[in-house]
Amino acid sequence: MAANADSPRLRRSEVPLEALTPPPWLRWPPETSRDRDGDLARGRGVAAYRRPDPRHVDTLLPLRGEPRPGVPETSRLGEDHAPPAGTSRLSSPERPAPPDGIWRARGADESTRAIEEPVPARVPAGSYRPPPPPGASHPSGSPASGAAPAPSVVGTGKPKLLDQVREALRLRHYSDRTEKAYVQWVRRFIFFHGVRHPAEMGKEQVAAFLSHLASVRHVTASTQNQALCALIFLYVAVLRMNIGIIEGIVRAKRPQRLPVVLTPEEVREVFRFLEGQVLLLCRILYGSGMRLLEGLRMRVKDVDFARHEITVRNGKGEKDRVTMLPTSCAAALRAHLGRVHELLHQADFARGLGRAALPYALARKYRNADCEWGWQYVFPASGYYRDRESGLHHRHHLHETIIQREVKAAARRAGVTKLATPHVFRHSFATELIRAGYDIRTVQELLGHQDVSTTMIYVHVLNRGGRGVQSPADRL
Give the residue numbers marked as catalytic. Answer: 291, 316, 423, 426, 449, 458
CB-hemisphere CA count at 13 Å for 327?
A: 1
Q: How many CB atoms lie within 10 A of CB 242?
A: 9
Cα 75 to Cα 138: distance, rounded to the nearest angstrom: 44
DSSP 344-375: IIHHHHHTT------STTHHHHSTTGGGSGGG
Nearest to 344 by CA among 383, 314, 318: 383
Cα 79 to Cα 295: distance, rounded to the nearest angstrom: 35
Q: Which sign, positive or negative, has the C-alpha torsion 41, 26, 66, 366?
A: negative
Cα 438 to Cα 419: distance, rounded to the nearest angstrom: 27
Cβ–Cβ < 8 Å for 209, 227: yes
Nearest to 447 by CA among 423, 472, 421: 423
Cβ–Cβ < 8 Å for 275, 55: yes
Computed on alpha carbons and rounded to an integer, the radius of gyration of the chain in Å comes to 27
DSSP code of 82? P
- Buried b or exposed e, range 149-182, using 16+ CB within 10 angstroms: eeeeeeeeeeebbbebbbebbeeeebebebbbbb
Q: Which are the contacts of 223, defined by CB distance < 8 A and separation ≥ 6? A: 213, 252
Alpha-carbon separation of residue 384 from 42, 103, 266, 304 (angstroms): 12, 17, 36, 27
Partners of residue 321 on adjacent β-strands? 312
Cα 42 to Cα 16: distance, rounded to the nearest angstrom: 27
Strand pairing category for 393-394 and 309-312: unpaired
